[in-house]
Amino acid sequence: GQQLNQSPQSMFIQEGEDVSMNCTSSSIFNTWLWYKQDPGEGPVLLIALYKAGELTSNGRLTAQFGITRKDSFLNISASIPSDVGIYFCAGQLDGAGTASKLTFGTGTRLQVTL
């Protein structure tokens, strides 16, 4: 199946720092999604991107849908302790934003130190 390469695998940052992570694919997607997973919980959607080149913000989060449709990045500005968790990118080829047939990246584990 398709593979999504997500980097970095993990990062330790200090509170207040900005964070950047990205996801690349060997094939195109029509939708890119970014999820956050807290320990013992299911993933929660942070940002959804539906058009190539789209740049979308949600509070301190900003994500972009790459123009080639094969990549996406997520930035977190001014990180706070509750940003700790695992961040997943997910690509979706059929339709727009449905739960079916999501292909997930391997995740970026974020830890924030005071």
Partner 1 sequence: NAGVTQTPKFQVLKTGQSMTLQCAQDMNHEYMSWYRQDPGMGLRLIHYSVGAGITDQGEVPNGYNVSRSTTEDFPLRLLSAAPSQTSVYFCASSYNTAPNTEAFFGQGTRLTVV
Task: List residues near partner 1 by CB under 8 A.
Answer: 1, 4, 6, 33, 40-45, 48, 50, 88, 90, 95-107
Torsional sign, CA 17, 23, 29, 33: negative
Helix residue ranges per DSSP H, the chain: none
Nearest-approach distance from CB 30 to partner 1, in angstroms: 10
Nearest-approach distance from CB 96 to partner 1, in angstroms: 4
Nearest-approach distance from CB 14 to partner 1, in angstroms: 26
3-state secondary structure of 8: coil
Euclidean distance between CA atoms 68 and 80, whole angstroms: 32
Q: Which is nearer to partner 1, 80 or 96 (CB)?
A: 96
Q: Which is nearer to partner 1, 17 or 109 (CB)?
A: 109
Q: Which is nearer to partner 1, 99 or 114 (CB)?
A: 99
Q: Which is nearer to partner 1, 17 or 103 (CB)?
A: 103
Q: In what order do the strands lie in the sheet with 19-25?
A: 4-7, 19-25, 71-76, 61-65, 55-58
Q: End-to-end alpha-carbon separation of the chain, Å?
A: 40
Nearest-approach distance from CB 17 to partner 1, in angstroms: 25
